[in-house]
Amino acid sequence: MSEVKDGLFKTTSRRAVIAGIGAGTGLIAMPWVARAQGETIRIGFPTPLTGAFAAEARDQVKSAELAVKLINDKGGVAGRKVELLVRDDKLNAGEAATRTLELIEKDKVHAIVGALSSAVQLAVNEVTRARGVIYVSISQSDTINEVKDFSRFTFHEALNPHMTTAAVAKHTFKPGSKVAYLVADYAYGHEMLRGFKRAQAAIGAQSVGEILHPFGAADYSTFMPRLRSMRPDILCICNFGRDQANAIKQAVDFGMKQQMKIVVPVLLHNQRLAIGPDAFEGVVGGANYYWGLERTIASAKSFNDAFRAANGGAVPTDYGAYGFTGVYSLLLAMQAAGGTETDKVAKALEGLKYDIAKGPQSYRACDHQSVQSVLVLESKKKTDMKSDMDLFNVLVEEAGSEAALRSCAELGFPA
């Protein structure tokens, strides 16, 4: 088992689309073949550079490029330089499957990291699983860890909806709380709703209703009177990207915040910046990363400092951090494996213990889910901010634990 700290070794209809692509190429599934020792290591990185999640995607690319630069500055992996190949998946499962297949078959990448939408990452996973290619997913999903989608080559570096909703509900729901839900009508929204309802039942809170909205909706004005009529104590807004910013802003415009607490499963750094402190003031949500962790975590300070140096003094964002931890952890595993041979890299990832941005992390054996801390953040009021980047109070940092995950048996794995 290789142990890593602060980036240093201590020595020790997506299915149909994918089926069509496979039939067209006539390629068969087989483990990837190791190449010449001196060959550049190529990492494919599909992400939605266009569309509603583009701001988060651009941050992921910056952080992924930083991970590659830091490794190359140290001499690369087993003496081989690393190259990142970024492709725009356009937030579309079919596009992501096509770009991933091209990265594997045309560009001859050694592994894939990326995807930001839960539906898109499942499309990428189907391609990589069929071709025996390592995939490190950095998008939230509960289903990618279930046995039906499991691949021994896939590792889920991101948090999942079960982890974030449980942590947020623990610190916002109370027995008897009345909760209303506004939910994006696609996989991410559905998984977040399921997670909140599970936590709600355990706490003794009650649901007073839920409204589904189309993905990418710009107008939420027709939903707000219906949500207010439910008379909730808490309004859970389960959506992502610009949808989150638009929904929160319009809820505030309707005076909802004066009548109820607004909670989100993931409190997005970029959307808070886009809308400003007034609308987000007091909103509570989960996160994988916040740059303010540097006050207490050495690896966060190192990551932030490197990011500032490479990006004109800017700080990394939450979803940007996934790009860094996803790529860097993969490269550490390749270093431990002595190269890119798929089976050896997968085994190295399974045994990897790493602390590269937020404290200790490791992968659970049964489903390859990253065990890691979950932050619960509250958006600051403008008068409490010490700088333009001083966005959130860290209400709590839930330590990483397998107890925070759904059990292996629940996911369908043998006991």
**For residue 246, what is the domain's CATH number?**
3.40.50.2300
| Terminal Cα distance for the chain, rounded | 23
Helix (H/G/I), strand (E/B), else coil: 412 = coil
What is the reported pLDDT for 37? Answer: 55
Nearest Cα to 135, choosing from 34, 83, 145, 335? 145
Chain-centroid distance of CA 142 in Å reads 11
**181 located within any domain:** yes
Structural domain boundaries, residue 396: 162-287+375-403
What is the reported pLDDT for 376? Answer: 98
User: Are residue 214 and residue 276 in the same domain, yes or no?
Assistant: yes
**321 located within any domain:** yes
**239 located within any domain:** yes
**8 located within any domain:** no
16 CB-near residues (< 8 Å, 6+ apart):
none
User: Are residue 271 and residue 390 in the same domain, yes or no?
Assistant: yes
User: Are residue 278 and residue 379 in the same domain, yes or no?
Assistant: yes
Length of the chain (residues):
415
383 CB-near residues (< 8 Å, 6+ apart):
none
221 CB-near residues (< 8 Å, 6+ apart):
250, 254
Rounded CA gap, 54 and 13, in Å? Answer: 23
* Buried-exposed string 127-155: b where 16+ CB fall within 10 A, e elsewhere: bbbbbbbbbbbbbbbbbbbeeebbbebbb
Tens digits of pLDDT across the chain (415 residues) = 333 333 333 333 444 434 443 433 333 334 444 444 579 999 999 999 998 889 899 999 999 999 999 999 999 999 999 999 999 999 999 999 999 999 999 999 999 999 998 889 999 999 999 999 999 999 988 889 999 999 999 999 999 999 999 999 999 999 999 999 999 998 889 999 999 999 999 999 999 999 999 988 999 999 999 999 999 999 999 999 889 999 999 999 999 999 999 999 999 999 999 999 999 999 999 999 999 999 999 999 999 999 999 999 999 999 999 999 999 999 999 999 999 999 999 999 999 999 999 999 999 999 999 999 999 999 999 999 999 999 999 999 999 999 999 999 999 998 7
What is the reported pLDDT for 187? Answer: 86
Q: Are 119 and 77 in contact (CB under 8 A)?
A: no
User: Are residue 217 and residue 300 in the same domain, yes or no?
Assistant: no
Domain count of the chain? 2
Q: Are 189 and 236 in contact (CB under 8 A)?
A: no
What is the reported pLDDT for 23? Answer: 37
Instruction: Write out the two tokens for 363.
Output: 């992968």
User: Are residue 100 and residue 247 in the same domain, yes or no?
Assistant: no
**232 located within any domain:** yes
User: Are residue 253 and residue 179 in the same domain, yes or no?
Assistant: yes
**2 located within any domain:** no
